[in-house]
A and B are shown apart, each in its own frame.
Chain A
Amino acid sequence: MQKQLGVTIGEILVLKADGGTMTLADSQDRPIETILSGPAASIMGVRALAECQEENFVIVDIGGTTTDLAVVVEGQVLFERSGATILGYKTLVPALLTRSIGLGGDSALHFCTEEQKVIIGPQRAGLPVCRGGARLTPTDAAVALGLATIGDKTRALAQWQRWAKELGLAWQELAKLVLEAFTRQLTEAVENLYGELENVPLYTISEVLNPPQIRPQAVVGLGAPAGVFVPRLAENLHLPYEIVPFSAGANAIGAGAAQPTIGVTLHADTELGTVTIPEMGYQGTLERPLFFTQEKARDLATTKTQEHAQAQGYDATAQVYVVEEEHFNMVRGFRTVGQTFTVRTQLRPQVRKIGGGQSNEQG
């Protein structure tokens, strides 16, 4: 066993959409859990590298083609409520909540003459001109204005001048319009995401009156163009920001730093007096069904998760947390005859903290 960057080599682990990893053998049993590991890797990269101490923040991963957004509330990355959605189909696969928008360093630019403004994406333009491409991109705007040093600046400048002349503008003005458009569209996407999350239905009076406070207190950025656009986004949102170190490769670091997770789903029915955990093939009986409560269901699920983790060779000392829980009164003939409980628990997806010297920060 050789150790490097605190990551154990010698065993192949596969990253899941929830930011945890599983063994290669487990991934063969449940291959669907390997979807959406890309966005999960970026988020775990932030958890491994960022120094942000705020309870709530937004993660902005700006790539070439898309920008992915994720949300941290009370120190925890938000999960999708009913699992990942792929092409409009809900999968029930536990996944970190991410929203992808067609806005990146290589996005196509459109100039709207009527409104004298630039619209970016969602298509990709191809390689930036500074790197030998044919069409100007947001990256070219950053390069031309001296905000980034990538590729051939002269080549980009020449193209900006050509396009600006056609439109009857100064090239600097046009390039600035591109940066403004990028920042505007990115700000809108962040606002939309929080708007959507704040409209998640709530079913109890106490929640409607005291909705969870989710608004970000900081912006954490990663991805190659983050250095140019994240400070501008943060200014629009009136928030402090941080660009994670090794920003361009943070997602690879995240994949490497992620730790294994495993979980169980407990179903209890007080009318039948039964408890089942499908993952473990466990079937038990409730000794005193009338006295079974949500807390007891949670405790039992936690204990069983640790047992299961131990049996499967995972780190059973890791913190167990409740992914989701539901409690249902069974009514027959207008009488409450029993209750059903469903609790899903798992080992909290963790990362090894890199750089900051702390280890095993919760992810």
Chain B
Amino acid sequence: MNKAKNQVGLIFFPAFDWAITPDHPERQERLLYTRDQIQEEGLFDHPSIVEYRPIVATDEQISRTHICVPNLDRHVTESHRIAAGGTILAADLVVDGKVDRAFALLRPPGHHANRVIHGSRGFCTVNNEAIMVDHLRHRLGPDLKVAIVDTDAHHGDGTQDIFYNDPGVLHISLHQDGRTLYPGTGFISERGGPAAFGQTVNIPLPPETGDEGMLMVMERVVLPILQEWQPDFVVNAAGQDNHYSDPLTNMNFSAQGYAQLTEMLAPDIVVLEGGYSIESALPYINVGLLLALAGLDYSKVREPNWRPDTVRQSSALTAEVARICDLVLAQWKTRQEEDLERVFGQGDFFERRRDIYYDTDNIYENQQEYIRLCRDCPGWRVIYTASSHFRDPVAAISVPWKVCPKCLEEARTHYAAEEENTNFAQAIWQQPISRS
């Protein structure tokens, strides 16, 4: 048997008894063909790939990341708890040294779930990666640096929202240009909040970008940024809907491309996101991805219907991708030279007003967020939120990891005031605390 470089922990949880609706793309059969392919290729039998049973995430673990309106139980079902728990387990396996790398190959996905939850967006309810990152900081301390590289075809807007002002997280998202695909965000100009400016990196790619373009972005942008930022952990939010056969997107990546990307990125933890080509793409992408993670030869993994000429990108498209790479990299390099007062204003607070649509549940949310501009910490924040489902506004006060004493005091005073304020249905307090 060929020996692998890395021991890989696989948390495979297809949730064969859960679907949004029976004919929805996010349905029971989504990982059925993938399981068969992995099994038939003998990967479950390979000594370097060990399967683990997911755990169930607790209220405490979910609440460290999310603010649920009106409460957690209203939105979070057992399937979400198991997907989040499986992702947490993936991180724990790596931290505990039981495996070198871990792959949470599970559903339902999470990267469209924002900090505030009024319902499901983009098939996501809770953000598996974000809950995992906050779990890691809870375990290992708030100084941990985690990079999330989101390779789903859709912009990882939920993850971006959660870590927008978080200096401990670098969020890089490669995706099909938001002007052509849900959720319609993820432009180069979205660069992070005042305490983490530049650490939100968006790389919108033109429709029909293929392996060549994706690997160019990895080589020219993603790897140099990671090299410079030096994260303690690299997480890959591994959406598989950039595939040429995906029914929901217009990209042209292949299983080989995904495997090469995985080898280049060398992530510690991989978490499945989207990917709805359940017979033509997922089985092959996941076999390639697992082989690449283990450090085994993946060069023979090919989709049966792959034809190089139908998915090859044009030279004009290659030039456009190269131009985007240059832009993003130039922005990254000058991130510390920007005048933040010019970007975020001079007041005591940075204000964001947003209308957020929950497509899966058809809910409209209106949100105002005020982040305290503070020299000593990322600043506490207050979020006022109401939605078409819960019209009475809610005030949520959230303090960051490594909050300074002054901000903590201000936040407490504000929370006490909002608790008394009858304009709000409730006041919610969120404060992540590290165990170490």
Q: Is the CB of B29 within 8 A of A331?
A: yes
- Among B46-54, B290-298, B418-426, the stretch that binds chain A is B46-54
Q: Given A199-B52, A331-B278, does the pair A205, B15 have CB atoms closer than 8 Å?
A: yes
A282 within 8 A of B: no
Please report the C-alpha to C-alpha distance between residue A72 and residue B45 in the assembled complex, in whole angstroms: 25
Minimum C-beta distance from A203 to chain B (A): 5
Per-residue interface assignment for chain B, residues 341 to 362, with 1 indicating a CB less than 8 Å from any chain A CB and 0 otherwise:
0000000000000000000000
Q: Is the CB of B17 within 8 A of A205?
A: yes
Minimum C-beta distance from B321 to chain A (A): 29
Q: Given A90-B45, A331-B278, A336-B29, does the pair A201, B52 have CB atoms closer than 8 Å?
A: yes
Q: Is the CB of A203 within 8 A of B13?
A: yes
Minimum C-beta distance from A294 to chain B (A): 13
Q: Is the CB of B53 within 8 A of A205?
A: no
The size bracket of the interface on B is 20 to 34
Partner of B14, one of A198, A203, A211, A332: A203
In this complex, the member of B29, B51, B247 whose beta carbon has the largest number of chain A beta carbons within 10 angstroms is: B29
Per-residue interface assignment for chain A, residues 318 to 356, with 1 indicating a CB less than 8 Å from any chain B CB and 0 otherwise:
000000000011011010100000000000000000000
Q: Is the CB of B51 within 8 A of A201?
A: yes
A200 within 8 A of B: yes
**Please, which residue of chain A has its CB at the minimum distance from the CB of B51?**
A201
Minimum C-beta distance from B415 to chain A (A): 35
Q: Give the residues in chain A near B45, CB-CB below 8 Å.
A: 90
In this complex, the member of A90, A205, A329 whose beta carbon has the largest number of chain B beta carbons within 10 angstroms is: A205
Minimum C-beta distance from B122 to chain A (A): 18
Partner of A203, one of B16, B25, B247, B278: B16
Please report the C-alpha to C-alpha distance between residue A205 and residue B80 in the assembled complex, in whole angstroms: 10
Q: Is the CB of B279 within 8 A of A332?
A: yes
**Please, which residue of chain B has its CB at the minimum distance from the CB of A85?**
B45
Q: Give the residues in chain A near B28, CB-CB below 8 Å.
A: 329
Please report the C-alpha to C-alpha distance between residue A103 and residue B364 in the assembled complex, in whole angstroms: 65
Per-residue interface assignment for chain B, residues 264 to 302, with 1 indicating a CB less than 8 Å from any chain A CB and 0 otherwise:
000000000000101100000000000000000000000
Q: Give the residues in chain A near B51, CB-CB below 8 Å.
A: 201
Minimum C-beta distance from B28 to chain A (A): 7
Q: Give the residues in chain A near B29, CB-CB below 8 Å.
A: 329, 331, 336
B401 within 8 A of A: no
**Please, which residue of chain A has its CB at the minimum distance from the CB of B30?**
A331
Please report the C-alpha to C-alpha distance between residue A350 and residue B29 in the assembled complex, in whole angstroms: 38
B233 within 8 A of A: no
**Please, which residue of chain B has its CB at the minimum distance from the CB of A90?**
B45
A208 within 8 A of B: yes
**Please, which residue of chain B has its CB at the minimum distance from the CB of A211?**
B53
B218 within 8 A of A: no
Q: Give the residues in chain A near B33, CB-CB below 8 Å.
A: 331
Residues facing A in B7-43 (CB within 8 A) are 12-18, 23, 25, 28-29, 32-33, 35-36
A204 within 8 A of B: yes
B238 within 8 A of A: no
Minimum C-beta distance from B256 to chain A (A): 23
Q: Given A205-B15, A334-B25, does the pair A329, B53 have CB atoms closer than 8 Å?
A: no
**Please, which residue of chain B has its CB at the minimum distance from the CB of A329?**
B29
Minimum C-beta distance from B416 to chain A (A): 39
Partner of A199, one of B1, B18, B53, B279: B53
Please report the C-alpha to C-alpha distance between residue A207 and residue B220 in the assembled complex, in whole angstroms: 45
B82 within 8 A of A: yes
Q: Is the CB of B78 within 8 A of A205?
A: yes
B63 within 8 A of A: no
Please report the C-alpha to C-alpha distance between residue A182 and residue B90 in the assembled complex, in whole angstroms: 35
B331 within 8 A of A: no
Q: Give the residues in chain A near B32, CB-CB below 8 Å.
A: 328-329, 331
A209 within 8 A of B: yes
Minimum C-beta distance from B327 to chain A (A): 36
Minimum C-beta distance from B81 to chain A (A): 9
**Please, which residue of chain B has its CB at the minimum distance from the CB of A335?**
B23
Partner of B17, one of A200, A201, A204: A204
**Please, which residue of chain A has its CB at the minimum distance from the CB of B22?**
A336
Q: Give the residues in chain A near B52, CB-CB below 8 Å.
A: 199, 201
A202 within 8 A of B: yes
Q: Is the CB of A206 within 8 A of B17?
A: yes
**Please, which residue of chain A has its CB at the minimum distance from the CB of B78?**
A205
Minimum C-beta distance from B341 to chain A (A): 50
Minimum C-beta distance from A330 to chain B (A): 9
Please report the C-alpha to C-alpha distance between residue A100 and residue B145 in the assembled complex, in whole angstroms: 44
Q: Is the CB of B15 within 8 A of A204?
A: yes
Q: Give the residues in chain A near B403, CB-CB below 8 Å.
A: none
Residues facing B in A176-203 (CB within 8 A) are 198-203
Minimum C-beta distance from A342 to chain B (A): 12
Please report the C-alpha to C-alpha distance between residue A200 and residue B51 in the assembled complex, in whole angstroms: 8
B56 within 8 A of A: yes
Per-residue interface assignment for chain A, residues 62 to 95, with 1 indicating a CB less than 8 Å from any chain B CB and 0 otherwise:
0000000000000000000000000010100000
Q: Is the CB of A205 within 8 A of B279?
A: no
Q: Is the CB of A202 within 8 A of B17?
A: no
B79 within 8 A of A: yes
Q: Give the residues in chain B near A199, CB-CB below 8 Å.
A: 52-53
**Please, which residue of chain B has its CB at the minimum distance from the CB of A202?**
B53
Minimum C-beta distance from B98 to chain A (A): 11
Per-residue interface assignment for chain A, residues 206 to 225, with 1 indicating a CB less than 8 Å from any chain B CB and 0 otherwise:
10110100000000000000
Q: Is the CB of A209 within 8 A of B12?
A: no
Please report the C-alpha to C-alpha distance between residue A106 and residue B23 in the assembled complex, in whole angstroms: 62
Minimum C-beta distance from B283 to chain A (A): 11
Please report the C-alpha to C-alpha distance between residue A203 and residue B53 in the assembled complex, in whole angstroms: 9
Q: Is the CB of A205 within 8 A of B82?
A: yes
Q: Is the CB of B78 within 8 A of A209?
A: yes
Q: Is the CB of B56 within 8 A of A209?
A: yes
Partner of B12, one of A88, A203, A204, A206: A203
Q: Give the residues in chain B near A329, CB-CB below 8 Å.
A: 28-29, 32
In this complex, the member of A199, A206, A334 whose beta carbon has the largest number of chain B beta carbons within 10 angstroms is: A334
Minimum C-beta distance from A211 to chain B (A): 8
Q: Is the CB of A203 within 8 A of B279?
A: no
Q: Is the CB of A208 within 8 A of B25?
A: no
**Please, which residue of chain B has its CB at the minimum distance from the CB of A200?**
B53
Given contacts A203-B15, A329-B29, 10 further A-B contacts (CB under 8 A): A88-B1, A200-B53, A201-B53, A202-B53, A203-B14, A203-B35, A205-B79, A206-B17, A208-B54, A336-B29
A residues at B contact (CB < 8 Å): 88, 90, 198-206, 208-209, 211, 328-329, 331-332, 334, 336
Q: List 7 A-B contacts (CB under 8 A).
A: A199-B52, A204-B16, A204-B17, A205-B15, A205-B18, A208-B82, A328-B32
B residues at A contact (CB < 8 Å): 1, 12-18, 23, 25, 28-29, 32-33, 35-36, 45, 47, 51-54, 56, 78-79, 82, 247, 276, 278-279
5 pairs of A and B residues whose beta carbons are closest in the complex: A204-B17, A201-B51, A329-B29, A204-B16, A205-B78
